Structure 1
């Protein structure tokens, strides 16, 4: 009878222990999944924000180009109106002068017509018999013929002036109509410019708001770097003069790849603000192994704000290296690593534009140019 409870206890114990372990592991797994999900969401939002910013900048460029073209057309229309107004004024003066001249010529012509009708009975025989001599007859005949020629010329002048006046009136009508069309064009261009300026203002406000937000994020990144400096210094102080196992005193490349951003002040690839870049950005496909630049002790291994998943290794001799934006961390805090040992994988966690390794070299916790240490 005693064996049955014992057997029952042995049968029930493994599942019970397994259930207990599951209860201990499950929350950690859920937490890890939640973190991974949150990281992916943040990464997607950052990528989308960058795309939107690029679209806004392109839109602003297009608006400025359209605005410049609209203003140019407006200036051309205004210049043309000025030229046409001068032409209209000149045409009106010429038409008025022609009208006065026509009135004078027509009055003169009417007088000549009356004179011709009054003297219509005069002929060359009358001129001959009324002349004192042949010389007087010739003079009178010549004068009469010239008078007739003058009347014909006067009629020609009047007809020509009528034609010129009609042509100028037609020109005046065309120019006046053109001015009306230009005035309509100017009104439309002014409306277009007003709308473009409104759009430009909206884009500028949007960019300003984004810039302010990005400046805050940049400040957070700089704060993260400063806090990381303090943490490194605190951990170094706790370690005291402890000898770091594995440190060779020389720093090697953690991976091979194209350097996309060097140490020093730069324009941030996501937000455009000018900030201090405290390390090297080395482009590499996601999942590429990251190796310890030298042997040493891992003094930080966790998510660290803008750095994302990060690892800090103390190599002794006041030198530390930092590895940021990792997708996976293999080196745990408090453990020792050998030079060339894989400590994690390339990713794009934290504030990142794409898969790469952010690599820093620090001296007593303060960032230094890695190129001065690398072979």
Structure 2
């Protein structure tokens, strides 16, 4: 009856090939993922329009009504930012579900491979235990014997095929697991991002309420506040310049990278330079704001809530908020990253800080979101590049502000033109 065992085995192989997989659910998930991708594109287009609206409002923000319009336009963009992040979270969850479904199917297929291999090995083992004479007398006729021998060759060929399929399925499963881990990492980052974006929305709401309360909805009161901010900024900048001018920190030029593109990356996705480094036309026209020394970085126009990225791999040297001691006078919320190439970078006027001192960051990793904190005439990122040897985070008492602030302070020689390295 050995030939019936082999026949049953071959039949089981054929049956295994037709066992149904989860085709319908997978197709449903693919359609949902495709629909979510369309929603994401629509939201991105809406955000682009809101960004234009915010930019246009900023150009008219020299009055109280203009400032309120900026905040209202920003609020609409921030709401769309949250919807976009929620859509990305939903998309990531669907992709994880799809991947895990595929993993389940592959694991089932591997079990079939393994079961088939075990059955094949047992069949071959039984055949090997019998001599040719024993094998012949085990059949009703010689034709049955030769037919079963041919079937055994088929079994051996199936074994080779099953082993190859098992190897392929193992590789496929490893690839799916890697994709799943990547999607779960993305999901974790998105969960953090939506928390940050909700903070920004709350800040926007509080800023509008504070503005209307302080000004009592009067243009004259708003103008007075602006004049006071400018005066405080000028006094604080002079105080800081005096201290930085007295610093004498040795800076070894050989420890700096050669100027050239790619040493640093742009700290945001869409680049729009609103002020360059050094004695620019604006810095010269407003010499009091810079004490005649020019602009110590570059300004990049960015609506509130724009992701800000680390310009290179590095370690977060420190974070802070000068508004806690000296509101509207300096950097506001800032992050300083020290890189391994002799450079350090500063990201200022942030709305939310996403890192903490001591964190290792990769090039392109989010360190915060653009804002309008500190002394800022409109939402933007202030980006400074230093020779690392010449910059330190110091705690200093301010006579102007009447408190002790913490911020990066540098020898004037340490300020470098960011465009020399991007």
**TM tier, smaller:** 0.3 to 0.5
| TM-score when normalising by structure 2 | 0.34
| TM-score when normalising by structure 1 | 0.38
Greater Cα radius of gyration, structure 1 or 2? 1
